[in-house]
Structure formats: structure tokens, C-alpha cells
Structure 1
Amino acid sequence: MEREIVVGIDIGTTKIAVFIGSKDEQGKPIILGMGKSESIGVDRGIVRNIEQTSISIKKAIEEVEQKTGYVVKEVFVGIAGNQIRNIQHRGNIMLESKGHIIREADKERLIKDQENLVLQPGEKIIHVVPQSFIVDGDGDIINPIGMPGSCLEGNFNIITGNVSNIENIIRSVEMANCKVRNLILEPIASAEAVVNASEKEAGVCLVDIGGGTTDVAIFHDGILRHTAVIPLAGNAITDDIKEGCSIIKTQAEALKTRFGSCLAASAKEDEIIAIPGFRGRDPREISMKTLAGIIQARMEMIIDQVLFEIKSKKYEKKLIAGIVLSGGGAKMRDCVQLTEFITGIEARVGTPQDHLGGTITEEITHPMHATGIGLILEGLKKIEKEDNSNKTPMATKFNEAIVEKEEEISVEEEASKEQNAKKKPSENKTKGFIVSWLEGLFKDDGTE
């Protein structure tokens, strides 16, 4: 049996990354290749310019196609943005008869039924996440399968997104000549890449510090309990450095990534960074302590928002596995220490290598690629659950794609020939009718 190929696109504020993955002989997920490009047209996780975003997506797809030899057709796409909303909802279904044994199909029917929930105008459901089940009034059941009952109820966390943003994502992908198989919330994807099942069971908070947004996902008892998107992240820090040091944005980004620290107390006053001046002017000197002070101020704001999300859902005492940091911002020096200092909760930087097999490069294991790799892992799980017998493969080998294209062209040509063949008899009949009518007309003229 041919292995299933999965494609994921992480549409971020600073970069667009496309991953192609599959499973090895042992059933462990592997990354076959990655392509990335600068993200243009995306602001804080929201597609603002469809055309520019589609060009960036196309560049990343072309790069991964060249690296892997696969032609991308369908993709799983990550979605984020500060318009993401959580709705707590309770639903129920009546079962066939009293004493009915609850099956997987019953549970799926209840979950599917929640998709009919009436939402605010301009909203669409992205995920329905079961929190707990109730069977005939007996509550707090994690898995009701196998239990007898006549009424199955459930408490759900329904995650919604803005319809306009969802449509913009789909259109930008389609303009890059691909179809969207499914949308996956980015915090869910990131958690899949850097958090394991035991941590989710114990209680863990994922904090993905990206370019435009910081994504938060809280897990407890193995269930996603809460998600949030904070509209502050790496780009806000870059802008602060740019304004605070009176330099251009590219220089500010370079300072942040090369010398940035989240703790001003650990930086030395006498360590100076020289920034080249414009057109022969004197270089601008910036102390490491000043730079760290600017970064720390913004990072404190971000972590305070994260702590607010944790406390608002009353999970500050339940996160036994602590906080897991991912995204590009997680690689800044002293980020873990500042997080622990503000929250009082243990923290670590999460990397995806523990969840992957095959050859793992240093670039792939960078925390900034947690979302893209998570899309592959989440996509593989979805494909295993679904019936994919009638679905087209998400990517095919280059030679197979050429054959398919040739077959499509030949089918179109055949259909065109058949259509022309049908037209010809009718054309001949029409011509014959016109000729006979003219002959009759001239005969009538002759007799007169």
C-alpha cells in the first residue's frame, strides 16, 4: 500500500512555510521537505491582501515541490488571528432505546450536531472540542462509549472564526493552484508538535510567540480546555527596538535575533553594539542593557496577557506540566526565566523532534516551525480517522502528475471531438434544409 502524503501550510505574519510529510515503515511521522517564503499581505494572522499572499504561498509551494519531487494539490491550512472566539455550549441527543449501548457513531453524531449552533453574523465554526459527557444525568464522563443510556449530553468548547478571514485564506490558497482540505487552529497544531500526551493529561499551557500574534492553548485531562490569540508578538518587539533606538526595521530585527535578551538585569551596561550609520555617518551605539530593557518591557506585556488567560479559566494551580514556549520568540535569551518569574509556573522551550522519525535537520527542529510540523501531525491523525477512498491524494510524484495532466487533456479532447461529432449531423441537416428551401423557391419563380 502506498503511503499517505500530507501537506500543511503555515500562513504566518512574517513567513509562509509549506511542509510535506508522511509516515515511515514504523508508523512514525516524517518530514519529507519544507519550503518557505516571506509573508506579504498578512497582518497579525489575518490575510489582508489575497493576491500578495497567494504569490507568497506559490513561492513556498514551488520550493518544497523542487526539494521533494511532489506536486502539491490539497493542503491543511493553519488559522489564527484575534477574531478567534471560544463558545461554551451544551448539547444532547436521544438514543434509540432505553439501555442502548453508546457507540462511537453516537458520540460522533452528538459532536456533528453542534455544528448547527446558531452563531453571530459573520462567524463560522472551526472546531468542536468535547469537554465532558453526561449519560442519563450522570455527568463528568470523559469517554461514554460502552455505557448504557437513552440520552447522551455533552459540554463543548466551540471555536469559531471570522467568515471573511476564512474565505480570504481559502481564496489565497486556491489562487496558488491548491485546494484547502481542512482548516486547523494554529495553537492546536503547535501543541501537537511540541507537547506530548502525558503533559496534556497532567495540565499544560502552550504559548506560541509568533511574528504577529501569540497563541495560547490550555490542556488538562488530555482535553483542549481553552484557546486564545493575543495580538502582540515578535513584530511588536521589533517595532519597539526600531522606535527606541532610532534605527530602521531590518536593523531592529537583526538586533533582536542576534543580541536580544528578555532580562535587562542579565545584560551588561558596558557591552555596546555599533550600528552602521547612513552614507558615511558615524555608527550608532546601543548598549546591550538598553536593548534588553526594551525587549523585556514588551515581553512582560505578552506574558501578563498569557497569565490573565490562565487565571481567567482558573488553571494556574492545575498546570502540573507547566508552560511550553514555541514560535520564533521562544528562542530569545532568558525568555524561559522571564516567563517563570512573572507566572510562577515552570516553563521550557518546546521543539518538535520528539514527535518525528526519519532524518531531522536543525532547521526543522526550530521552535518557529512548530505550527507547520503540527499541521502535518494533525493532518495525519485526521486522514487516519476519515474515509479517504474517494478523495484525491494531497500530493503526487512529479511524473505521476504529468501523466494525470496528460490524461485530463486527452479526456477533454475526446469530449470535444464527441461534441463536434454531435454538432455535424445537425449542421448538415440545417444546410440540407436551406438548400432544399432555396431550390423550391427558385422553382416557384420559374413557374410564374
Structure 2
Amino acid sequence: MDEPIVVGIDIGTTKVCTLVARVEGERTLRILGVGIEPSQGIRKGTIVDLASATQAISRSIEKAQRTSGLEITSALVSLAGSNIESYNSKGVVGISGRVIEMSDVNRALEQAQAVSPPHNREVIHIIQRGFSIDGQEGIRLPVGLHGYRLEVEAHVITASSAAVENLRKCVQASDVGVSQFVLNPLASGEVVLTDTEREMGVVVCDIGGGTSDMAIYINGDVWHTIVMPIGGNHITSDIAHGMSLSLSQAEEVKKLYGCANVEDVADSDVFTVRKFGEDRSSTVSRKELAEIINARVEEIFELLLLEIKRSGYDGLLPAGMVLTGGSSLLPGIRTVASNMLGIPVRIAGPENLLGLTDQLHSPAFSTSVGLLNWAILMNDATSVMRGSGGININLPKVDFEAIKTFFTRLLP
């Protein structure tokens, strides 16, 4: 086929979602295969039972292969968990007054990574935050400019080597190679953020079952990332304990009657449920349920607010927060988030999809679809690098738009 095929495997605490898509026209994705399987052996984004996790991932891949009619040999894989850490770094190289080439940019980024992470950690992403030439800042794409000194500010994201290797082993058990790991909020940001929001300053927050993943974008680049081990499963657990229900009952009650904002629930609203130790169903106030949910949701956004302030960028976010992930579907959560954070908040999910898209427009699949968009960016960047021989660039023939997109968004 002329159109490239892209594959993403989103391995979350709640579900494993494998997507196969064909890129059509102007970066339009036609979903060819979907494999959604409940997660097993995964807690807070980390593998805790290798055999169970391998089986869940294998079933998801098999479903995607069956629905697409294609064999999956490699894929981009999502990454989350409390083992994720990040830091900002600088790299400086000499140019000697000549034209800056791609190889110089690569050398600068390598210098930014000069401080090697500990032996038990590995670098997942090196994302440029901006370049300066001879002290002049604010340069987005230095290739083709003259200068003597090139400096890059980079955001470096690392993960536990053991956690990454366990995840890779689970995927490879299905004879599928991992072409790259992608941090959850960066994948989600590819589908829910607009270019205007990235430029102005925005937070994307993906609240899943086991983790809340956040990335701060300013001037079009990623400036800060964090993964917190708290999410929708904690809300479910609170409901189970507070109302004497099983976890499966609590999850169903949360989806059917839950609300994060107590003021949105009338005092007269009730529902029936059968609690532990009772022979018959009893009537429960929805307001009581909302109060349990509200307490945990407020805690989540209080922790997010502390992290935003700790980053030092809390005054640089006029576009507010874009909320996504399965837990963003909870009624009233946008109101609570806006009140807690004091910034505009909107909820977003994937758009502009073709093919097998029945479930995929939900915010719960932002990371899954985001992996496919990330794969498109990688394909563009690979084409540019091949066209330039990987080192020297023939300036008149280079696709500068593809290079700009690549260096503005990401550098794996």
C-alpha cells in the first residue's frame, strides 16, 4: 500500500488497547483494527504480574490482527507509572560560523544528555524546548542559519530500566517489536491539544484508572511532565469502602450514578444497591455518593495544582487545562477541576477518525489514538532524515515543514 500503516498499543491499568490504522490524505487516520482487552497484572501503570499482563496484551494484539486482517510486527507502546522522572538540561556546541546542519542539532541534543542517568534508568524522550544561536534566544529551527555557538534547552524523560524491560518483554512475547515507548500525556496531547493552546501555555492531564499523567506545554514545546500514581481506581475503591460494596459494584455505581460536584446532585436523588451482608437492596442517596467521589477528586486536583506550582509555570498557562482519559467522563469533574485550579478547563477526546471508530471518540482512548499520531510524526521525521543522508542536509531539497514539526513536538 502507498499509505503507511501505523500501530499503537496502549497498556493501561484498566485496559489494553491495540489499534491498527492507515494514514490517508492529510494525516487522516482510518482505523483498520481494534483490540480492547481488560488489563491484568498491571497496577498503577507498572507490571506486577508478568504472565497475566502478557496474556492480556497478547489477546489485545490478536483481536487487532483479526479485525484488521494484518500481521503486527512492531508498534509504539504507551508508558506510564510512578517510575517516570524528568529533568531539564542544556547542551552547547561550537559551529565556527558556518551553516548549522542537522548533525549540529543532534550534537547539541547529545550534549544535553551528557549527564547520563543512573545505570538503573534509561532515557525515553529528549524533547527540545528551544534553541539559541550566539546568545539569541527564541529560535525554533536553527537548521540553515549561520552561527558560532548553538545551545539547546531540552526536557529529558527517563524511566526505570526494569519497568521498561518488563513491558518490552510482555509485548515481545506476542512476536511484536517495540519501535518506541511514548509517555502517556505526550501521546494524549497529540490528539486533544490545538496548536494555539500549545503556543499560549496549557496543561494536558490524562486521568486513567491507575495514574494521572500531566504535561505542561509552553511556546509549543513540552516544559514539564509528571506521572502520579492516583486515578479513577482510587475513586472506585473509596466508593467500595464507604458504601460496603464489591469493587465491581462500586465501579458500576460510579458509572451509573456518580458525580464529582456535590452541588449538581439534588437531595432527593436516590438509587438502590445491595450491600455486603444484606439480604435485599437498600436505597442510597446520590448526594452521599457524590461526597465520597468529590473528596477523592479534589485530592487529585490538589496534587496536580501542587505539581504545577512546583514546576514554576503556574503563571504561564492562559489556555488552562485540557482534561482527558477515562476518568474525565465523570460528571461534574470539569467544574471541580476549574474551581480547584483557578484556570479554564475543557474535556477532550480523539476526533477526525475514519473506519472502526465506534468507541474511540471517547476521552478514554486519547492515549491509544495519540500513539498513532506520534507514529505519523516519526514517519515524517524518518523520511526527512533519510532524504538528508542522516547527517548533511541538501538545503534546497529538505522538507522544512516536516523537520519543524519533528523538532517542535518531540525528539525520541
- State the TM-score, normalizing by the size of structure 2: 0.89
Shift of 1:312: 1.8
Work out the CA distance in 2 between the residues paired with 1:268 and 1:59: 43
Match of 1:236 among 221, 226, 234: 234
> Given the alignment, which residue of 256, 259, 264 partners 1:258?
256
How far, CA to CA, are the matches of 2:355 and 2:313 in structure 1? 37
AA at the equivalent of 2:359: E
Matched with 2:16 is: 16
Name the residue aligned to 1:66.
Answer: 66
Distance 2:54 2:283 in 1: 40
Q: CA deviation at 1:49?
A: 1.7
- Look up the match of 1:433: none
The residue aligned with 2:360 is: 364
Displacement of 1:143: 2.8
Q: What is the one-letter code of the residue matched to 1:384? A: D
1:205 to 200, 203, 206: 203
Shift of 1:140: 4.0
2:63 is paired with a residue whose SS is helix
Superposed, which structure 2 residues align to 1:264-303 within 5 Å? Answer: 264-276=262-274, 281-303=279-301
Q: Is contact 2:187-2:367 (8 Å) kept?
A: yes
Q: 1:24–1:358: 8 Å Cα contact kept in structure 2?
A: no
Aligned-residue offset at 1:315? 2.6
2:384 aligned with 1:375 = no
Instruction: Identify the residue that residue 47 of structure 1 maps to in structure 2.
Output: 47
Q: Determine if the alignment matches structure 1 residue 181 to structure 2 residue 196.
A: no
Quick one: distance in 2 between partners of 1:138 and 1:3?
41
Question: Could you tell me which amino acid in structure 1 is paired with residue 28 of structure 2?
Answer: K
The TM-score, its normalising length taken from structure 1, stands at 0.82
Once structures 1 and 2 are overlaid, which stretch shifts more, 130-139 or 205-214? 130-139
Asked if the contact 1:99/1:150 (under 8 Å) is kept, the reply is yes
**Structure 2 alignment gaps of length 5 or more:** 387-412
Q: Tell me what 1:407 maps to.
A: none
Report the residue type matching 1:284 in the other structure: S
The structure richer in helix per residue is: 1
CA positional deviation for 1:389: 11
The residue aligned with 1:28 is 28
**Hey, what does 2:152 align to over in structure 1?**
154
For structure 1, list consecutive stretches of 5 or more residues without a partner in the other structure.
Answer: 391-448
Paired amino acid for 1:36: I
Query: SS state of the match for residue 352, structure 1?
Result: coil
Q: Is the 8 A contact 1:22 1:380 kept in 2?
A: no
Structure 2 counterparts to residues 16-165 of structure 1, below 5 A: 16-95=16-95, 98-165=96-163
Equivalent pair of 2:124/2:158 in contact (CA under 8 Å): yes
Contact 1:274–1:284 at 8 Å: present in 2 too?
yes
Where does residue 439 of structure 1 map in the other structure? none
CA distance in 1, matches of 2:142, 2:36: 43
Q: Distance in 1 between matches of 2:308 and 2:114?
A: 29
Q: Go from structure 1 to structure 2 and tell me whether the alpha carbon gap of 1:277 and 1:330 turns closer, same or farther (over 3 Å shift).
A: closer
Letter of the structure 1 residue corresponding to residue 200 of structure 2: A
- For 1:205 and 1:26, the matched residues in 2 are separated by 27
Structure 2 distance, partners of 1:274, 1:134, is: 63
Range moving further from structure 2, 25-34 or 185-194:
25-34
Q: Percent identical across equivalent pairs?
A: 31
SS in 2 for 1:22: strand
Instruction: Kindly name which structure, 1 or 2, has the bigger radius of gyration based on alpha carbons.
Output: 1
SS in 2 for 1:70: coil
